[in-house]
A and B are shown apart, each in its own frame.
Chain A
């Protein structure tokens, strides 16, 4: 099965059509995606800023880490699940969207980040209670940059050239081009 035919098959499934053409499902799933971004983003921000020593300095890092972890996991699961549903709705367009591929690359880098820093930083949060080393701070800064990049590239998907000609949704509807 070739990639284009696979994408077309996805787009022909009942679920894909229902999200894409159902009216309310698309904005609702998008809304949940956004809300979870706020929840998950806040947790992530708090964790990373704690590593950088900018918030909650009186609390040990491991304490902050373990308390936020269940919420971060929940947020991550919801944001990925809703993201998958949104992608399932219009795979053909996304396949030709540069911003989508930037976003997916950043997402892959999030995985690399987790693997690289697992051993020295996130795997043993108790060790960071005494002192937070430069590597942990680097991990926190990179994490913030990656997630900011994910938000920006995610937003750009609605604006890039893949939308031209086939505006499946009016996500871009309020933008008035300079030529107008």
Chain B
């Protein structure tokens, strides 16, 4: 049962850890922000390159390969800190429309990032396809952040 699972999550040791001191939640949330600045920021650099708006002197494939480890570390930080915050109030969060929107966008963004977006940087790809991939990537990640911001206001 999902409802049972969310209740169990709220009472889990890591949920208690998140509420153990007042500063833990904001500290974890700050890490979450640093994580997305790292991942989405480096993805945005590649996307701007694909759109021809920046870093035009290097090949998109080189740029993507250079930044990939930092993108991945950022994603890992996000995916660890996010569920930790979720666990503190899982029952309420999973019913929050902004949260649901964010999760759908996140799933699509991650799927897209590790499949088509990876191929879009290859030299053989048609420019229009690469640009579409970059625009879609920016749109998806923007939606993830915007959805996340709205969680506290809905």
Q: How far is the CB of A58 from chain B (nearest CB, A)?
A: 7
Stretch from B1-9, B41-49, B110-118, B128-136 that touches the partner: B41-49
The answer to whether A56 touches B66 (Cβ under 8 A) is yes
Residues of B within 8 A of A56 (CB): 58, 63, 66-67
Q: Is the CB of B22 within 8 A of A178?
A: yes
Chain A, interface residues (CB within 8 Å), range = 35 or more
Contacts of A58 in B (CB 8 A): 62
A-B contact count (CB 8 A): 123
Chain B: number of interface residues, binned into ranges: 35 or more
B37 contact from A45, A159, A172, A177, Cβ within 8 A:
A45
In the assembled complex, B33 has its CB within 8 A of some CB on chain A = yes
Determine how close the nearest CB of chain A comes to the CB of B76; give it in whole angstroms. Answer: 15
A152 adjacent to B27 (CB under 8 Å)? yes
Q: What 1/0 mask marks residues of chain B from 16 to 53 whose CB sits below 8 Å from any chain A CB?
A: 00011111011101100110111011111100100000
A-B pairs, top 3 by smallest CB distance, nearest first, are: A42-B41, A41-B37, A38-B40
List residues of chain A with CB under 8 Å of any chain B CB. Answer: 26-27, 30-31, 34-35, 37-46, 49, 55-56, 58-59, 63-64, 67-68, 70-71, 148, 151-152, 155-156, 158-159, 169-178
Beyond known contacts A38-B37, A155-B29: 6 more, CB 8 A cutoff: A43-B45, A46-B67, A152-B30, A174-B92, A176-B19, A176-B88
